[in-house]
Amino acid sequence: MSVPAKADRPMTDAEIVEAYLTASMIPDPDAAAAYMKPGTVITFTGGREFDHPRGPTGFNAKRYRWVKKKMDRFDVCPGTDETVVYSVGTLYGEWMDGTPFEDNRYVDRFVVRGGQIVKMDVWNDSAERILVQRGIEA
């Protein structure tokens, strides 16, 4: 699959990652999948592995009433055959009980090769925040 052009030029690797994240926040996992090579492994929080953006979308639906990302920056690390792109920012939304939250740190690491995401790793502070909500200091 070719990557959509932006102003008559191919998208940069950071733009591919931003487009993926934007689609995944709608949530539209099928639109997000257009930016990934089929079968890409998404390693989500807690080491959960998914092979399609539907996996994280389904997981998030059990944890949050809704959740969005405030994408503060993209750190781009070009390599010979691939680029590593980090998206760094915070999550905001509502827990399942309707309690709002914000400033929940996240880091997503993407490997982009040939205009497609081929690997994604996700980390955030949600589990820590859930422990605090339940009065658990671990």
Residue 42 pLDDT more than 70? yes
Does the structure show a pLDDT above 60 at 2? no
Looking at residue 3, what is its pLDDT? 52
Residue 44 has pLDDT above 60, yes or no: yes
Mean per-residue pLDDT of the chain: 93
Residue 15 CB partners (closer than 8 Å, separation 6+):
6
- CA distances to 51, 75, 126, 128, 134 from 138, rounded to whole Å, are 31, 31, 14, 8, 11
pLDDT digits (tens, 9 = 90+) for 66-99: 999 999 999 999 999 999 999 999 999 999 999 9
